[in-house]
Amino acid sequence: MTPKKSYRMMKSLLTVLLFCCTILAFAQQTVYSTQLNIKYYNDSANKADHYINDRCVLDIYYPEKSKGFATIVWFHGGGLTEGNKEIPQALKEKGVCIVAVNYRLYPKVKAPGYIEDAAAAVAWVFRNIKSYGGDTTLIFISGHSAGGYLSLMIGLDKKWLGKYDIDANYIAGIIPLSGQAITHFTIRKERGIAETQPVIDDLAPLYHVRADAPPLLLITGDRELELLGRYEENAYLARMMKVAGHKQTRLIELGGYGHNMAEPAFPLLLNEVHRVIDLRKNK
């Protein structure tokens, strides 16, 4: 090897090392904070209802000293009857804020109580995320199973956020993981309807298909391994959104995964967040 080639190789290696050190230093500089059990209803609601006061809280995980970051509002699963808020490990340290929400559960409340809670939590994020450094135009809503259902309901039916004078179209993206698209099976149970009897009424996301909705990414497990009809419900929702004229609906089926498909779906969720951010930057 000639001295000239050796010099060029050394220079290239130094450039790569400097780049890696810069990235590492940036990652090390990003510090994340977590605040727990923040009440998202107002004082009068909390004083009037002990269950709201105890249950309707959220956790926020955000990058300190950062400005303009995106926020993912995350609703846990559990069939609207169980489960608790959590900040998924796979979403941590990714440059985004995560808001994990608790909502009231059946049988202590019935529909639409848990949908009202989901809307109240998202309204809290719209009102408060800027004070943490977040961008109110980059609020995404997501969740697994029942949480996916809630994200679909408040994202497609504009009346729930409209109660707080928030247009649901301000949501940057709706990304449910294995969410129910017909009327939720727990709501059907409340009404004495068999789980195998599909219903599409005003408490079904499918009832509220519209062309002007935020970008929608539907992610499910394998149609042969999922809960009863879950893939097909999402496929029908995707088709009807497109028929209605919605231009940004996509459906992803995770082959080989059943209903517990959140872990392999988290990278897809983050990719969708960055896709929407990039689209907005390039407009």
pLDDT for the residue 234: 98
pLDDT for the residue 195: 87
> What are the sequence ranges of the domains in the chain?
31-281
Q: Flag residues of the chain having pLDDT under 50.
A: 5, 7, 9, 15-16, 19-20, 22-27
Q: What would the CATH number be for the domain defined by 31-281?
A: 3.40.50.1820
Residues 167-220 have pLDDT tens digits of 999 999 999 999 999 999 999 999 999 989 999 999 999 999 999 999 999 999
Residue 214 CA from chain centroid, whole number = 13
Give the Cα separation of 156 and 59 in Å (integer): 24
pLDDT for the residue 241: 98
